[in-house]
A = this chain, B = another copy of it.
């Protein structure tokens, strides 16, 4: 590949914050942060402001939390107030008069890890983002799996326990009901109901207030009950990873998102359960299970790289 020292802008739109970066020569050279606004008009003008503040750039990529069509229209975004059916791509293109690409935030994170991060050079990759929910990005045979509408990779809504708790999507027992930050909190509250989360409950104030972060903190302190909850959580994570391996046979699975940054307390039991649950472990090399290179910047970096890699995702 020839040397490319153009400046690529990428913006990750989160539920509460927007992060803009400029990616140049293989690294982030500039960052801009803004609160995520409410409503469609303010969303577009905030994105334009961020781009202007990032300075002169070759192209703009945007990652948004929701279903994005191949034309860059955000169809649905449960975590963005007052935003639906927003033509993010077309509107930004008109205002900015440059190349604009828009995709799902987890797809952007996958692009970052696959093109310049942990899975660089690997042709069959699953990127799993464990945050409040679960996001996913899939690479098969050296190409991004987009699906016919651009909606592929909604791995958090894979049902793994059809008799399980209700999910916002209408189903029961979706993977993200157990294996996300929200899921970790749910498992903690279940443990507290059985009197098996004393330190966690102390940190949270009450059983009802237990969230993932309280279990994480207690586990990092070495609290045994918290480690048992983490083990149960890790089993749920591994169960979904096993499903994805049976479906897609990846060479590598990259775990990103907030929970990934907690290190071995989470990674070690995930690895153990993954080895335990994988179908025919004696018959195939196991997919490598690795932590993401990029922490909270994965979405913005991947968004910046979207226009550059568009030819790879084209079918």
Contact = CB atoms under 8 A, between A and B. Distances in A.
Nearest to A251: B148
Given A148-B123, A247-B154, A242 B159 contact: yes
Interface string A145-162: 111111111110111111
Contact of A145 (B146, B248, B287): B248
| Chain A interface residue bracket vs B | 35 or more
A283 interface: yes
A247 to B, nearest CB: 6
A315 B142 contact: yes
B279 A154 contact: yes
Given A147-B124, A284-B149, A285-B149, A279 B169 contact: yes
Contacts of A158: 158, 243, 246-247
Interface string A32-62: 0000000000000000000000000000000
Nearest to A240: B159
15 contacts: A76-B280, A123-B148, A140-B140, A140-B145, A140-B146, A141-B145, A145-B248, A152-B248, A153-B247, A154-B246, A154-B247, A158-B158, A161-B162, A162-B239, A171-B279
Given A140-B147, A148-B250, 19 more contacts: A67-B280, A67-B284, A75-B280, A76-B280, A76-B283, A123-B148, A124-B147, A143-B143, A147-B250, A151-B249, A154-B246, A155-B247, A157-B279, A158-B246, A159-B239, A159-B243, A160-B160, A160-B161, A169-B279
